Amino acid sequence: MPKTNLPTVSELLAVSSCEYAEGLSRQQFIDPVIRQLWSPMPRIAGPAFTVKCGVGDHLSLHAAIYRAKPGDVIVVQADPDFASAGGNVCAVAQKRGIVAMVIDGLVRDLGEIRDCKFPVYARGMMPKPAGKKQIYPFNQAIQCGGVTVHGGDYIIADEDGIAVIPKDRLNEVYALAKTRTEKDAEMNLIEWEAQHSKKIESKLKELGFSD
């Protein structure tokens, strides 16, 4: 059976996280409390390299920057009370070709992270770092912002949010998102308003509403 070609990173980046909602449930979008920590931040896309950190610990993440492949997005289940990464860790990750980090937790050295323009999504900042005493297997299922993320799932993130696309649904979800993008691009605002108004009025009538 021939191998199905997956969309390229460039193709994935051409579609906003909003359009990926066409083929994904709400459960595949990470809690918006995990957000861009500087702006303007470019849209990012890539396979997830999943990391679990222990309570009060960040050794797994610090080890992950030497194990993730260029093009990966490191996705982290972290302790919510300590910084899991700082400026140097992010700079080394960037140097090694890692696309971004999505951390269900905190970071520090935001100025350094901003200056090197490394994309980081997290809950916020904390000056106090975690320790280095626990290690967990990589690329296992983790929880990040209420979403179960597996190693190899695809992450699409931009200013609107973070989508997690199951790796076995990438072609399907991308095709739906691309079709929606192309459809929207073909319609000007007047045309959009006309079809939107018609749709809304039809729905109101269906619900028995009258002014």
| pLDDT surpassing 90 at residue 84 | yes
**Domain count along the chain:** 1
Which residues does 190 contact at the CB level (< 8 Å), separation at least 6? Answer: none
Bind-site residues for substrate: 86-89, 108
Residue 211 — pLDDT band, cuts 50, 70, 90? Answer: confident
88 vs 5: which has the higher pLDDT: 88
Bind-site residues: 86-89, 108-109
Q: Say which CATH number the domain at 71 has.
A: 3.50.30.40
Average pLDDT value over all residues in the chain: 96
Q: Is residue 77 part of a domain?
A: yes
Q: Is residue 3 part of a domain?
A: no
pLDDT digits (tens, 9 = 90+) for 125-180: 999 999 999 999 999 999 999 999 999 999 999 999 999 999 999 999 999 999 99
Residues 85/104, Cβ–Cβ less than 8 Å? no
Residue 75 — pLDDT band, cuts 50, 70, 90? Answer: very high
Distance of CA 34 to the CA centre of its chain: 9
Rounding to the nearest 10 degrees, give the CA dihedral for residues 174, 178, 181, 182: -170
| 132 vs 53: CA distance, rounded Å | 10
What is the average per-residue pLDDT within 183-208? Answer: 92
Q: Is residue 44 part of a domain?
A: yes
- What single-letter amino acid sits at 64? A
Q: In which domain, by residue range, is 187 found?
A: 9-199
| pLDDT surpassing 50 at residue 1 | no
Q: Is residue 135 part of a domain?
A: yes
Rounding to the nearest 10 degrees, give the CA dihedral for residues 134, 138, 139, 142: 0
Residue 3 — pLDDT band, cuts 50, 70, 90? Answer: low
Bind-site residues for Mg(2+): 109
| pLDDT surpassing 50 at residue 16 | yes
| pLDDT surpassing 50 at residue 70 | yes
| 51 vs 181: CA distance, rounded Å | 32
Q: Is residue 207 part of a domain?
A: no
pTM for the predicted model, two decimal places = 0.92
What is the average per-residue pLDDT within 106-127? Answer: 98
| pLDDT surpassing 80 at residue 54 | yes
Q: Is residue 205 part of a domain?
A: no
